[in-house]
Homo-oligomer: A and B are copies of this chain.
Amino acid sequence: MTHAQHTPQIAILGAGLIGAAWAALFQHHGADVRVWDPNADALAATAARMKAPLEQLAQVAPDAGPRGALTLCATLADAVTGADLIQENAPESIPVKHALYAQVEPLMAPSAVLASSTSALTWSELSPGLQDPARLITAHPFNPPHLVPLVEIYGTDAARITRAEAIYRAADRVPVRLKKDATGHIANRLASALWREAVFMVQDGIADVEAIDAALVNGPGLRWSVLGAHMAYHLGGGAGGMEGYLAHLGPSQERRWAALGAPTLSTQVQAELVAGVAREAAGRDISQLEATRDKALIAALRARKDAPHV
């Protein structure tokens, strides 16, 4: 193509931790970013909140080229007007988001995409907030958004989804498309299913909280960082692959699923979870744990560049 490269124009609505992480990510990857928040103090804190993510992004993607422009916008119109992608990070409340969408929609360019970072809500719950629901997609990042590459996408307008995916890919994200609207998207459903069994093992006395976490981080978690779950069973089937696995172990797999637990978050189980993570944290506070996590994520992301996952 011979037309001049278009610099993506990104509006970030909501300057909390998620919004600031998005802003840093897009700016680092050369997009022009306009941030708006209804709270003037939150807006004023944006640059401070972006500082650590920008420093981390410089380690993950040092060759990203020049940063885009960053503008703090006093009005919603300043942020949204002319934006290709409007990433919404409002509180997880349907009325709050609907009220915001009613303001945003008349300001949007006809081709623009309104992308909600929502974790807990669905496209079906949010789209009635627009005159034209096709303008909305859900685009759920996995925390922390500037480090974990996944963005889970659902919407009904294929053209807008394709344009949004291109913008996310240009910001070094991995967009993954749902075929059907679903609470929890993909990743939080998987996380919820895994944690259910983890909590069951605590409740049932099979293993301690910190033992389960150690098993995950040094076992399946490590492997799932390079190989998907379906693909792991494909390799587990040997030369026969997934077909061989299912032929030999399919029936026993259904029995294994039936034997999994359904825990209750009773007072006692909750106390064991709280005590267990306290033992595991071993005196480290949340910010220290997050710093260790981020450093390890950055190292893992850098390792991936030379040795891509399956």
- A interface vs B, CB < 8 Å? 120, 142-143, 148-150, 152, 174, 176-180, 182-198, 201, 204-236, 238-239, 241-243, 246, 250-254, 256-257, 259-260, 262-265, 270, 273-274, 276-277, 280-281, 286, 289-290, 292-293, 295-304, 306-310
Cβ of A115 to closest chain B Cβ, rounded Å: 17
Q: Which residue of B lies closest to A209 (CB)?
A: B230
The reply to whether B293 and A303 contact each other, CB–CB distance below 8 Å, is no
User: What are 26 of the A-B contact pairs (CB < 8 Å)?
Assistant: A142-B223, A148-B222, A148-B223, A150-B214, A179-B207, A180-B206, A182-B204, A183-B259, A186-B219, A187-B220, A190-B216, A193-B197, A210-B230, A214-B228, A222-B225, A224-B224, A225-B296, A227-B296, A230-B273, A242-B274, A243-B270, A243-B274, A246-B265, A246-B273, A257-B262, A299-B304
- Chain B residues whose CB sits within 8 angstroms of the CB of A120 once the complex forms: 252
A293 touches B310 (CB 8 A): yes
Return chain B residues, CB-CB under 8 Å to A302.
303
Across the interface, do A186 and B211 meet the contact criterion of CB distance under 8 Å? yes
C-alpha gap A198/B179 in the complex (Å): 14
Chain B residues contacting A223 (CB-CB under 8 Å) are 142, 148, 221, 293, 297
- Candidates B189, B212, B274; contact of A186 at CB < 8 Å: B212
A182 to chain B, nearest CB (A): 5
Q: A229-B216, A296-B310 are in contact. Are A207 and B148 (CB under 8 A)?
A: no
| List of B residues within 8 angstroms of A180 by Cβ | 204-207
Q: Are B206 and A178 in contact (CB under 8 A)?
A: yes
8 smallest beta-carbon distances between A and B, as pairs: A213-B228, A221-B224, A150-B219, A225-B225, A299-B307, A193-B197, A226-B296, A299-B303
Residues of chain B within 8 A (CB-CB) of A214 are: 150, 174, 176, 228
For A186, list chain B residues within 8 Å (CB). 201, 206-207, 211-212, 215-216, 219
User: Which of A142, A189, A195 has the most CB atoms of chain B within a 10 A radius of its CB?
Assistant: A189
- Give A207 to B175 CA distance when docked, in angstroms: 13
A15–B306 alpha-carbon span in the complex (Å) = 33
A259: B residues at CB distance < 8 A: 183-184
CB-CB under 8 A for A190 and B197, given A246-B265, A265-B254, A306-B299: yes
**Distance in angstroms between the alpha carbons of A261 and B4 in the assembled complex:** 48
Given contacts A220-B187, A246-B270, A274-B243, contact A192 B296 (CB under 8 A): no
Contacts of A195 in B (CB 8 A): 229-230, 233
Question: Which residues of chain B have C-beta atoms less than 8 A from A235's C-beta?
Answer: 286, 289-290, 293
